[in-house]
Amino acid sequence: MRKNSKSVGGLFYKQNNFTHKLLLVLLLTLLIMPAQAQRVVQSINANWLFSKAEGQEFASSVAPASGWEKISLPHTWNAADVLDDEPGYYRGVGWYKKTLHIPTDWQRRRVYVYFEGANQEAEVFVNGQLAGRHAGGYTAFSFPISQYLKFTGTGLAANEVLVKLTNRHNADIPPLSADFTFYGGIYRDVYLVAADPVHFDLDNHASNGTFITTPAVSNEAAEVVVSGALTNASGAARKVTVLTQLLDQNSQVVSKRQTSLTLKAGEKRQFQQKLPPVRQPQLWSPDKPYLYRAVSQVLDVKKKAPLDEVSNPVGLRWYRFDATEGFFLNGKHLKLIGTNRHQDFPGLGNALPDALHERDVELIKQLGGNFLRVSHYPQDPAVLQACDRLGILASVEIPIVNAITDSEAFFANCRTMQTEMIRQGFNHPSVIIWTYMNEVLLRLPEGIKRDNEPGRAYLTKVAELARQLEALTRREDPARYTMIVNHGDFKLYQQAGLPAIAQLAGWNLYSGWYSGDLSGFAQFLDMHHRELPTKPLLVTEYGADSDVRLHSFQPQRFDKTSEYANLFHLVYLKAILERPFVAGSNVWNLAEFNSETRQEAVPHINNKSLLTGDRQPKDAYLFYQAHLLKTPFVKIGSRGWTLRAGTAATSDSLYCRQPVEVYTNQPAVQLLLNGRNLGTQPTEFGVARFQVPFSNGVNQLRAQVAGQVVSDQVDINFQLLSSNLASAQLPFTELNVSLGDERTFTDDRLHQVWVPEQAYTPGSWGCVGGKIYKQAGNRVPYGSDRNILGTEYDAIYETQRLGLTQFRADVPDGEYEVVLHFAELEAVPQGEQLVYNLAGSGINGNASSKQERAFSVLVNGQEVMPELSAKTYLLPLQAVSFKVAASARAKQGIRVDFKAQQGEAMLNGIQIKRLY
């Protein structure tokens, strides 16, 4: 059952938007029916007890006697352990319990407990008796519990509900592996439902028992059909009427149908109501997401009283995909553009309040997007509700990711999930596609190769599962499209026959990221169109990592800078827009999300996204706004990069030129720096580019367009370094250098900027000797991509200079503090092969154990560290830093010497700060 089915007529009680919903309830109650509550639906999120039963087996467990803590739902037990330096997170049993206070007059009602989602295997007990089991962490489930309830005395009776849950790995339940975190817990809302014995079916895969279709819609007329089942759980035959009224936004009834039925005692009966056509319907579209609502009631014929009621949103639209021309909505061409979305949020894991789910859909709307791939699993009902309201078209999928298990149990769980997803999401007009596999051939099981016998058998099995799910989906919902989403191995998916099975082909393409170069993207699209000319195509994923702290003026593949990601999106969006046969595309991903097994610049986080974890825009978000928004738009890029540093152009100049991009849908942009006109630049594909001469301190940038319809302003704090460190015009204050690095790193929290290394030149600073470290066999252009332990500044420690003999800074005489940063990157244990390694080799691996090193460090000739080695402080992948005092005397500046005793010396970062 979806929340929107409960807000009319029934009593709706949910803490966060209580008054809003209540007003709606009251209003509608007055308008359409006598004031009488039939179905009661109330959330029961507060006052639960939780106990983690570490070490307990799911099969043989008994509820823990102790260790209960007070929590409220939504809840996950993995909010913290997915971020720490310990590999892995708790995947085992957890228990929840709560006392329910049940009104004694519910004795006459049919009571259900309803879970929007709990990851991933659940057993629910009521007063010690098993009420039901559910497998799968992303779909809703509900169980009848009347027969287990105790009704003692009058008023409220205490009853206990106990839930045993596990998020252990289970080879029979998808997902088996994936690039996201499988948080355990009851992480969505839980409800109690109490209905009259005569009610719309409550035993149909947690759907609301009614299904809306719109078999014929045009500008002139629309047909609406309501199908479903009615249950008579009472002991006597009942004569009832089903009345469905279609209401417009002014609550005017625009169509209605009444059906009379006689139900035997205990009978469940199907019904179907074809409503008289709606003339001149208001159509639903991204620009105008007009929603009608269909309110269906069961009325007792004798008493004329309503017994049960459900309400469903109705959007009147028609659509089609075409392999040559793309997508059409209501007869008009519409390029589908949007993002994917995961359901987590920093600090909360997957246990989000509805408002945060809704906010993400709003952020897609504000992007100018019209399309959401709800990946890789069905999400909170709030997501599709928001899509309906905001006019975002959606594809929803079950989490068959990377691989399948060849077992009947796995196949059955897939079928059940697909059925649950479809029946629970059926009445959302925003949904246009049901999807059921994501990159299912990414991880061929052990010993299986595409061209050996077991490999061929495995591909046959995968295709068999796809055919089962395809048939099921077409039977369940013939009006919507089906899709399988593949990774870029065209031949392999063709070999398995997958593109022929579903109606649409989704491709996740990362050319220029995991492998190949940026031009490979357009080549792939054209190849699909040539080889599969009748198969409509969507680019279901594309994106590049970007850590907003990292910037580069020479962006390179895999450097994780914003600038490389910007380039990536520019090339991809252009290719998408230029090709009418590309029906739609989804950026990977709307926001940064947790993937516990990931390492890289921000361990545990996948940051291929348009927004940061806390939903601040990256440049790429502004870039899409410039292309998609229809109202005048201008925004200065790098707006999160408001703390910059750089070296003055010459030893006597007082500025440093750096590029700034402005994103706009206007033809040209004028940029002003502290009120001074820097000129006007034409816009090329959404971007106007400037070279800005930044001076030390605050630089106010203002972008404006002709006619001043829009403008934008950003203050950038610039730390200008002189190339002559003894310069009186620019007195030296501090220097932070990331060795072995070509990027700058801005740390907003500490208000520090780290600049890339450079070679020493007299009067200035830099290193002497050595070379940039690059992890062997890895695609990173320099440095390592391993998780560095004991720091949040992984990017600084992941890069280093090897074999250097000296670092010098010709600072003026005075008292200084020097901090030296090290991490052993070479003599380290081999990293795991991670599942998202799309190129199939090298990531995090191959760091063979190198010969051990030992070296000493001297500052201004004084030995400060006699031996840095694995025996002292250099533990594998462990961040370690030393702060030492240093005086600069007799114009000698600061000299740090490295003396190798064994192997090569190295340095990852250095900070020099003038005290006085």
What are the beta bridge partners of residue 738? 756, 909
Residue 836 near ligand GCB by CB under 6 A: yes
CB of 686 to ligand GCB, least distance (A): 24
Q: Which of 166, 208, 606, 787 binds ligand GCB (CB under 6 A)?
A: 606
Q: Which is nearer to Ca ion, 418 or 799 (CB)?
A: 799
Q: Which of 297, 723, 908, 911 binds Ca ion (CB under 5 A)?
A: 908
Distance between CA atoms of residues 645 and 760, nearest Å: 18
CB of 594 to ligand GCB, least distance (A): 11
Q: CA torsion, points 320, 325, 326, 328, in degrees to nearest 10?
A: -40
- Residue 259 has, within 13 A of its CA and on its CB side, a CA count of 22
Q: By beta-carbon distance, which residue lies closest to Ca ion?
A: 799
Residue 911 near Ca ion by CB under 5 A: no
**Could you tell which of ligand GCB, Ca ion, none binds residue 738, using a CB distance below 5 to 8 A set by kind?**
Ca ion
Alpha carbon of 564 to those of 330, 554, 592, 608, 784: distances in Å?
A: 38, 8, 17, 11, 18
Amino acid at 44: I
Residue 551 near ligand GCB by CB under 6 A: no
Residues in contact with ligand GCB, shown as a per-residue x/- string from 424 to 443 under the rule CB under 6 A: --------------xx----
DSSP 3-state of 371: strand
Residue 844 near ligand GCB by CB under 6 A: no
**Could you tell which of Ca ion, ligand GCB, none binds residue 908, using a CB distance below 5 to 8 A set by kind?**
Ca ion
**Could you tell which of ligand GCB, Ca ion, none binds residue 487, using a CB distance below 5 to 8 A set by kind?**
ligand GCB
Total residues binding ligand GCB (CB under 6 A): 11
Q: By beta-carbon distance, which residue lies closest to ligand GCB?
A: 179
* DSSP at 429: T
**Could you tell which of ligand GCB, Ca ion, none binds residue 439, using a CB distance below 5 to 8 A set by kind?**
ligand GCB
Amino acid at 611: L
Contact 701, 671 (CB under 8 A): yes
Q: Which is nearer to Ca ion, 360 or 741 (CB)?
A: 741
Q: CA torsion, points 867, 868, 871, 874, in degrees to nearest 10?
A: 170
741 Cβ neighbours under 8 A, 6+ residues apart? 754, 756, 757, 772, 782, 783, 795, 796, 799
* DSSP at 257: E
Q: Is the dihedral of CA 730, 909, 780, 563 positive or negative?
A: negative
Residue 558 near ligand GCB by CB under 6 A: no
E-assigned strands of 410-455? 431-438
Q: Which of 181, 405, 738, 844 binds Ca ion (CB under 5 A)?
A: 738
CB of 113 to ligand GCB, least distance (A): 32
Structure tokens at 813: 């005489």
Backbone angles phi, psi at 384, to 5 degrees: -70, -30
**Could you tell which of ligand GCB, Ca ion, none binds residue 598, using a CB distance below 5 to 8 A set by kind?**
none
CB of 560 to ligand GCB, least distance (A): 12
CB of 900 to Ca ion, least distance (A): 19
Q: Which stretch binds Ca ion (CB under 5 A): 153-161, 363-371, 651-659, 737-745?
A: 737-745
Residues in contact with Ca ion, shown as a per-residue x/- string from 796 to 815 under the rule CB under 5 A: x--x----------------
Residue 508 near ligand GCB by CB under 6 A: yes
Residue 397 near ligand GCB by CB under 6 A: no
Please provide the DSSP assignment of 345-372 as one string: BTTTBT---HHHHHHHHHHHHHHT--EE
**Could you tell which of ligand GCB, Ca ion, none binds residue 739, using a CB distance below 5 to 8 A set by kind?**
Ca ion
Residues in contact with ligand GCB, shown as a per-residue x/- string from 458 to 497 under the rule CB under 6 A: -----------------------------x----------
Residue 592 near ligand GCB by CB under 6 A: no
Q: Which is nearer to Ca ion, 741 or 810 (CB)?
A: 741
Q: Which stretch binds Ca ion (CB under 5 A): 33-41, 391-399, 468-476, 731-739?
A: 731-739
Q: Which is nearer to ligand GCB, 439 or 904 (CB)?
A: 439
- Nearest in space to 868 (alpha carbons), one of 818, 902, 895, 908: 902
DSSP 3-state of 648: coil
Structure tokens at 658: 């750096």
Alpha carbon of 910 to those of 37, 325, 809: distances in Å?
A: 70, 56, 11
* DSSP at 352: -
500 Cβ neighbours under 8 A, 6+ residues apart? 535
CB of 607 to ligand GCB, least distance (A): 9
- Name the strands in the sheet holding 40-43, side by side, starting at the edge strand that comes first in the sequence: 11-13, 40-43, 190-195, 110-115, 141-144
Q: Which is nearer to ligand GCB, 623 or 836 (CB)?
A: 836
Backbone angles phi, psi at 465, to 5 degrees: -60, -45
Return the axis-axis angle of helices 354-367 and 381-390, rounded to nearest 10°: 30
Residue 599 near ligand GCB by CB under 6 A: no
Residues in contact with Ca ion, shown as a per-residue x/- string from 208 to 237 under the rule CB under 5 A: ------------------------------
What are the beta bridge partners of residue 261? 240
Distance between CA atoms of residues 339 and 337, nearest Å: 7
Residues in contact with Ca ion, shown as a per-residue x/- string from 342 to 381 under the rule CB under 5 A: ----------------------------------------
Residues in contact with ligand GCB, shown as a per-residue x/- string from 217 to 236 under the rule CB under 6 A: --------------------
Distance between CA atoms of residues 810 and 723, nearest Å: 10
Distance between CA atoms of residues 431 and 381, nearest Å: 12
Kindly report the length of the chain: 916
Residues in contact with ligand GCB, shown as a per-residue x/- string from 164 to 193 under the rule CB under 6 A: --------------xx--------------
CB of 421 to ligand GCB, least distance (A): 18
33 Cβ neighbours under 8 A, 6+ residues apart? 9, 297, 306, 309
Per CB under 5 A, residues contacting Ca ion are 738-739, 741, 796, 799, 908-909
Per CB under 6 A, residues contacting ligand GCB are 178-179, 438-439, 487, 508, 541, 588, 606, 608, 836
